[in-house]
Every structure is written in C-alpha cells, then in structure tokens.
Amino acid sequence: IVEAEIKEERMDDFLEMIENNAKKSREESGCIRFDVLRDQSKATKFWFYEVYENTDAVDHHKTTSHYQS
C-alpha cells in the first residue's frame, strides 16, 4: 500500500501519469492487482493498493519506465 499526497497545481499531470502507470502495471506478468484510490476526505490524497506474485515481480516493476515516471 502506497500513500501519496499531490500538490493541487500538479493534479492534472499526476492523474495522467497514474492512469498510465496503473494500466501498464496491470499488464506486467507478475502483477495481480493495482488499484488507485482517491481519499474521500482529502481530494489531493491517493492510495495505491498493489499486489504482486513475489518480490521478483515487485523488483521488476520498479525498473519499468511507467514506474520511473
């Protein structure tokens, strides 16, 4: 589970980036689940719920260009 708070002035860039990141992450062979959740009490706060088959899959995920963005 990853928590992120986004600056309001960067929200458009973030939403575009996270949509691409989630889509590409879900295509990875070791990815079981990748959810992007927006906090209902604070619109600039997000949670990423990521489930991978194993640590090798997580390690691979961290090398991808969509993760790096």
Q: What is the pLDDT of residues 32-57, one digit of tens each?
A: 999 999 999 999 999 999 999 999 99
Give, as one character, the DSSP assignment of residue 29.
Answer: T
So what's the pLDDT on residue 69?
86
Q: Is the dihedral of CA 24, 39, 57, 29 positive or negative?
A: negative
Domains of the chain (ranges; CATH) run 2-68 (3.30.70.100)
